[in-house]
Chain A
Amino acid sequence: MTSKIIERKFRKFFNIPKKGENYEFRSGLVSQYADERKDTIQRVIAAMTTGKDVSALFPDVLKNIATHDLEQKKLVYLYLMNYAKTHPELVILATNTFIRDTEDPNPLIRSLAIRTMGCIRVDKMVDYMAIPLKRTLKDDNPYVRKTAVICVAKLFELNPTVCMEQGFLEYLLELVEDSNQMVVANSVAALLEISKKTQKNVFKIDDQILNKLLSTLNECSEWGRVSILSSLLEYDANNLSDVHNIIEKISPQLQHENPAVVLSTIKVLIKQLNKLPSNESNNVLNRLSSPLCSLLNTSPEIQFVALKNIRILLEKYPTILDKELRAFFIKYNDPLYLKLEKIELMTRIANEENCMLLLSELREYSMEFDIDLVNRAIQGIGQIAVKIQKCSKKAVEILYELFINKGEFVVEEIVVVIQNILRRYPTEYISNVITVIADLRFDDLNRSESLTSYMWILSEYPREIPHLEDKLNVIVENFDEFESTVQSAALSLVVKISLSRPTPNTPHLLQTILNKATQDVENVDVRDKAYLYWRLLSTDDKKLQEEIILAKLPILNSAIETFTPGLLEELVNDLGNLSSVFYKPASSFIKLDGSDSFFTSSELQNKKLEELQQIAKNEIVSNAVKADNLLDLDDDDNNEDDENNNAGGLLGGDNSGDILNELNDLFSGLNTTSGTTNNSSSAASNNLLSILGGFDSATASPSPKPAPFQNSDSSNKKPGNDDILNLF
């Protein structure tokens, strides 16, 4: 026994942990030194962040909330906030503390409390929140009001009906007229959030509000501006003077340093455009070009979305960036996705004046080594050759030069581009491009896109191709291995040649390919096409055959993809949004919010508050047991020892002996909290352990048994423990 006492003293002296991390935390949290308590809370938060479940420490952490040290209070709130989302039933235990803190003289604490309350996602919370929320919405301090305003949106998400019944929406609308800019901006943001949730506009802007918003715009923080500007998007100005007013007031925001403000401003301006006479709307459009370019003065990620959005605008207003080509030149350090996007935009900006400059730039890119970039550059050269006749000659020269210098590296893309050029200029450049095609063997090509282009060129210009028949032979021979699009092209090729340039061998080739296509091919389209050709060729009407099979394609006007008008309108409205990045309407890939299956605590939703509290207490206790038992299986001796120690060394303070009682004390009423904190703080954890320790060592079973918690009677305890309890 003496040796054990020495050992214990020894441990105490060197502060050797006895019970693992949780024990350490717990004793730290109830330490008599404020610094140690604070430090421990920080370590608890660190443990929480790394994914450890420290919810068992809940009661001990909560004890530390009654402090004048703002820093410590904030830390405790941090802990609570974290569990507010995942374990709302735990945080509900602290409701009383929250309500008390919303009346604290310090505005920071008032807003902390109301903010945390809003995070507890349990339906019943609404009843408790209503009164403090109303109070904080009318707080003298704007910082509290701006926090409370957002809480209304949180409340709405939780329970829209109660929120409406209690008239919180009216509160919000009132606060839009607040004197503080931050409160105004957050009210607007909250209203927008609610509108989005309900799918209808709960924030109707009238003249008065409009003026208020426009005048607040200049004063508020960058994010406030974003909120206000997005609310203006919903406003439909019905007379020209309003439109002028809006444009005049918000245009200066184009010069704001925050790109989000700039893009939001652009959105609102564009919304006004179709309400203006055309000369005025052109003036507004002219103002947009330099701010749009300024969006490229940002980190690559932001640039990426900016470029995607500029592409949408360019399609709606093609001349908007006519003079700004240089801003889109590629930088050596740009990530690949940015480079590709920039080329995309440059080909769209290209016009008669800048096309030569652009061509030489694209030529540089096509000399790079990244195959994706090179291919995109070549494609770009083709696109502007088709778009602008003036530079097509130069473009073809560049393509030819590339082919000579880089050969097989670029040939696949060049073939595709040549097809487009021939479709746009059927005769002008044959002599240049045909050299590329003429010597090409079909082994050189792998991509199905290039193969189909190659075959199309063969079929249209058979006269120019030497050894045509050999090439056809190879194609027919390999027919089975092609993808179906290539098969389809091969079929057309052979049929066309057999009509336009028949040789003694073509009927044989024709027969072979038709047989293969109708018998061996599984793809329905290719089969059907083959049957159609076969039927047609079986007729005697040579003229009809030629008319159908040798029909020329219409001249290609553009090799640049465009949106459908409907989609374009939708995308212009959604600038900056997810849909503007993926070029799809939001409705096509976002599920509407109806079925909200994500709700983390749905099963807890309908429980009564008392039930929840009970659940929470059980959870805390069982967590505590689990944690300690699992960690310290081999510590049974110590436990016993420890408990004896407690028995011997008990002084006046250690009276509780039962964590459940203590929890009840802690949470049952406001008044008792501080008292309990004082007289039980140091003993609480030890006592729990001693009960369990004794219990465990008696039964030698590591698994936690529920018995002690349902009934706090001492029936399971050793006589020695009874004594302790009987002392009081």
Chain B
Amino acid sequence: MASIVAFLDSKARLLLLRDYKGDIPVSVIDEFPLLLLKQEQGLNNSSEPIIYSNGISYTFIQNDGIYTVGISKCDVNVFTILVFLSKLNDALIKHFKKLNEFSIKDNYSIIYELLDEMMDFGIPQITDDLVLKDYITQQSITFEKLISNVSNSATSTHRKIKQSKQDRRAPPTTITNQISWRKEGLKYKKNEAYLDVIESIDMLINSRGQMLTSEIYGKIKLKSYLSGMPELQLGLNEKFINSGLNSIKGLTSDNINNESITKSSIEVEDVKFHQCVQLEKFENDKIITFIPPDGECDLITYRVHSDILKPLFLIEYKFKNHSNTRLEIMVKVRANFKNKISANKVEIRIPVPEEIDSPKFHYQKGKLKYLPDENTLRWKFHKIEGGKEYVMIAELMLLSLVSESELKQFRKIPLNIKFEMQGFVTSGLQVRYLKIHEPHLNYNSYPYVRYITRSGDNYEIRSSNV
């Protein structure tokens, strides 16, 4: 696996390096900036994440201007290295809130400590941040923490009665007992569990209002504050379970001649479980049972594909170009759902050309703002009720220098919508029950369930061509 793991800043200067195997001279990292530059020139400033030169492979990911690089010598499994590096980044972000030059420089020794626990001799060990927290002896320094120390605000939301101050004479039990993601002896006064079913919809709609692609990324997020070693069982509606199982078994609706599957049904794909879920039990007995990690986790993630899904917002998006000096943009948005339901925090981002002058807006509702840094108009609604329709017209003066092709270029940028709706999910998933059973303590607990539908990162409308 990786012989060296290094962090570099945005100019590919070395920030920190950990040599795991010692089979490559550390100085090879000096080559990296040059190799990177060479590759970026060939590929329009975007560099493929693997560079091979002179017997050494550099595998790296980029995150907020930080390069995390794994260096190795043989024909290693680069896929595993990439996954490890991204988990490493995740863990660091969890620790320091942000991963950037400053958070690295402020926390050298804690990063070393983390690196030591996460990998040994190039073999990944533990990357789960909940488990890692128990191993790390030092306090990380973040701006937020400094502030909270100063202001002394003890608004910690955790309701543990006894923050079991670890006896540092022993390694945390998480590693030593059978269940590697939960430590023993947790105690809470109230035993609570929250389930959030969250579905993010990505949709691509063309200028004629036809849906090109749509994908629903769903997850069931579990927040649990439960004592002891509780065994949980989650009940979901039959339809979802069946569809999920079929996708796992690789059966698509085509090769099932079962009448229970109709044409309009949803297809659940890529069902992924947190490592605490007993995968075999689900496949054989359709039961989702698990001992949860303490705190937050994504219990189930899934993807839903549906051709019958209708766009939640119908958008008309038009331009009028007045001889390359003045541009009119018209956006009409219509909430395409029942009027009992409403969408919150709706935000429409309309791309505009660079450097426009004295924009004038006409609109009926919401707030509209020109964001020069992002070259967008942001049209915000606190709430849109079903069936309502709103129009916005923006008049933009262009600098005379703008060429035809530049104008076309900005029009390739799709219009983006963000929104959030509570109370239902589009896939039809339903939580039937969440049974919580702790064999020794036998307490009562209170599960809560919420359903949220929101836009994904790519809920977009393409503008018309030409």
Give A contacts to B, CB under 8 Å: 42, 45-46, 49, 51, 70-71, 74-75, 78, 81-82, 85-86, 105-108, 111, 115, 118-119, 121, 141-143, 146-147, 150, 153-154, 157, 180-182, 186, 189-190, 193, 196, 218-223, 226-227, 230, 249, 251-260, 263-264, 283-291, 293-294, 297-302, 304-306, 309, 323, 326-327, 329, 331-333, 335-337, 361, 364, 367-370, 372, 405, 574-579, 581-582, 586, 589-591, 593, 596, 598-600
Q: A193-B123, A289-B250 are in contact. List 16 more A-B contacts (CB 8 A).
A: A74-B113, A78-B113, A115-B116, A142-B175, A182-B180, A193-B122, A254-B248, A256-B279, A283-B249, A290-B269, A293-B303, A305-B79, A329-B204, A337-B43, A405-B466, A598-B25
> Given A294-B272, A329-B213: A219 and B48 within 8 A (CB)?
no
Contact B112 A302 (CB under 8 A): no
Minimum CB distance partner of A337 in chain B: B48
Minimum CB distance partner of B50 in chain A: A581
Contact B46 A290 (CB under 8 A): no
* Bound Cα distance A231, B15 (Å): 35
Of A51, A260, A337, A577, which is within 8 A of B47 by CB? Answer: A337
* Bound Cα distance A544, B169 (Å): 93
Contact B108 A326 (CB under 8 A): no
Interface assignment of B460: CB less than 8 Å from any CB of chain A: yes
> Given A293-B270, A405-B466, A576-B78: A332 and B413 within 8 A (CB)?
yes
Among the listed stretches B54-62, B182-190, B314-322, B418-426, which one makes contact with chain A, having 4 or more residues with CB under 8 Å of it? B54-62
Which of chain B's residues have a CB closer than 8 A to the CB of A49? 15-17, 108
Interface size on B, residues (CB 8 A): 102
Which of chain B's residues have a CB closer than 8 A to the CB of A118? 121
> Given A220-B180, A260-B83, A574-B75: A255 and B171 within 8 A (CB)?
no
Top-9 shortest CB links A-B: A286-B250, A252-B279, A287-B250, A301-B49, A586-B75, A576-B79, A294-B270, A223-B124, A260-B83
Contact B74 A196 (CB under 8 A): yes
Contact B50 A578 (CB under 8 A): yes
Interface assignment of B140: CB less than 8 Å from any CB of chain A: no
Contact B250 A288 (CB under 8 A): yes
> Given A181-B180, A305-B50, A590-B75: A297 and B171 within 8 A (CB)?
no
Contact A290 B248 (CB under 8 A): yes
Type the 1/0 row for B65-86, where 1 means its CB is closer than 8 Å to any CB of A.
0000000011111111011101
Type the 1/0 row for B412-455, where 1 means its CB is closer than 8 Å to any CB of A.
11100000000000000000000000000000000000000000
Of A51, A74, A252, A579, which is within 8 A of B137 by CB? Answer: A74
* Bound Cα distance A364, B26 (Å): 46
Minimum CB distance partner of A323 in chain B: B252
Interface assignment of B457: CB less than 8 Å from any CB of chain A: yes
Minimum CB distance partner of A153 in chain B: B121
* Bound Cα distance A587, B398 (Å): 58
- Return A632 CB to nearest CB of chain B, in Å: 26
Of B46, B212, B282, which is within 8 A of A361 by CB? Answer: B212
* Bound Cα distance A590, B52 (Å): 10
Contact A578 B76 (CB under 8 A): yes
Which of chain B's residues have a CB closer than 8 A to the CB of A157? 21, 23
* Bound Cα distance A669, B121 (Å): 30
Which of chain B's residues have a CB closer than 8 A to the CB of A259? 79, 83
* Bound Cα distance A491, B219 (Å): 63
Which of chain A's residues have a CB closer than 8 A to the CB of B272? 255-257, 294
> Given A85-B22, A600-B22: A253 and B279 within 8 A (CB)?
yes
* Bound Cα distance A80, B23 (Å): 18
* Bound Cα distance A591, B57 (Å): 12
Minimum CB distance partner of A587 in chain B: B75
Which of chain B's residues have a CB closer than 8 A to the CB of A189? 123
13 contacts between A and B (CB under 8 A): A45-B108, A49-B15, A71-B137, A78-B113, A107-B171, A153-B121, A255-B282, A257-B272, A260-B80, A332-B460, A367-B412, A576-B77, A598-B73
> Given A70-B137, A182-B175: A226 and B80 within 8 A (CB)?
yes
Contact B251 A326 (CB under 8 A): no
* Bound Cα distance A575, B305 (Å): 28
* Bound Cα distance A85, B212 (Å): 55
Contact A368 B23 (CB under 8 A): no
- Return B127 CB to nearest CB of chain A, in Å: 7
Contact B82 A302 (CB under 8 A): yes
Interface assignment of B409: CB less than 8 Å from any CB of chain A: yes
Interface assignment of B247: CB less than 8 Å from any CB of chain A: yes
Contact B458 A306 (CB under 8 A): no
- Return B107 CB to nearest CB of chain A, in Å: 10
Which of chain A's residues have a CB closer than 8 A to the CB of B123? 150, 186, 189-190, 193, 223, 227
Which of chain A's residues have a CB closer than 8 A to the CB of B270? 290-291, 293-294, 297
Interface assignment of B192: CB less than 8 Å from any CB of chain A: no
Enumerate B130-153 residues with CB–CB distance to A below 8 Å: 137-138
Which of chain B's residues have a CB closer than 8 A to the CB of A218? 278-280
Greatest chain B CB density within 10 A among A193, A285, A299 is at A299
Contact B44 A372 (CB under 8 A): yes
Contact B180 A221 (CB under 8 A): yes
Interface assignment of B242: CB less than 8 Å from any CB of chain A: no
Interface assignment of B301: CB less than 8 Å from any CB of chain A: yes
* Bound Cα distance A105, B169 (Å): 8
> Given A287-B249, A305-B82, A405-B466: A370 and B44 within 8 A (CB)?
yes
Which of chain A's residues have a CB closer than 8 A to the CB of B105? 46
Greatest chain A CB density within 10 A among B48, B273, B298 is at B48
Enumerate B108-132 residues with CB–CB distance to A below 8 Å: 108-109, 112-113, 116, 120-128
Interface assignment of B271: CB less than 8 Å from any CB of chain A: yes
Of B109, B248, B269, which is within 8 A of A293 by CB? Answer: B269
- Return A664 CB to nearest CB of chain B, in Å: 29
* Bound Cα distance A298, B270 (Å): 13
Minimum CB distance partner of A409 in chain B: B405
Contact A290 B250 (CB under 8 A): yes
- Return A443 CB to nearest CB of chain B, in Å: 21
- Return B15 CB to nearest CB of chain A, in Å: 8
Enumerate B184-241 residues with CB–CB distance to A below 8 Å: 204, 212-213, 215, 217
Contact A368 B412 (CB under 8 A): yes
Of A45, A227, A254, A336, which is within 8 A of B112 by CB? Answer: A45
- Return B413 CB to nearest CB of chain A, in Å: 7
- Return A601 CB to nearest CB of chain B, in Å: 8
* Bound Cα distance A302, B250 (Å): 23
* Bound Cα distance A299, B47 (Å): 14
- Return B170 CB to nearest CB of chain A, in Å: 6
Interface assignment of B24: CB less than 8 Å from any CB of chain A: yes
- Return A47 CB to nearest CB of chain B, in Å: 9
Contact B74 A593 (CB under 8 A): yes
Of A45, A289, A578, A579, which is within 8 A of B109 by CB? Answer: A45
Contact B301 A257 (CB under 8 A): yes
- Return A592 CB to nearest CB of chain B, in Å: 9
> Given A118-B121, A369-B412, A577-B76: A222 and B275 within 8 A (CB)?
yes
Which of chain A's residues have a CB closer than 8 A to the CB of B175? 142-143, 146, 182
Which of chain A's residues have a CB closer than 8 A to the CB of B303? 293-294, 297
Minimum CB distance partner of A286 in chain B: B250
Type the 1/0 row for B254-273, where 1 means its CB is closer than 8 Å to any CB of A.
10000000000000011111
Interface assignment of B283: CB less than 8 Å from any CB of chain A: yes
* Bound Cα distance A254, B272 (Å): 8
- Return A411 CB to nearest CB of chain B, in Å: 16
Which of chain B's residues have a CB closer than 8 A to the CB of A46? 105, 108-109
- Return A397 CB to nearest CB of chain B, in Å: 15
* Bound Cα distance A224, B202 (Å): 34
> Given A405-B466, A590-B74: A578 and B250 within 8 A (CB)?
no
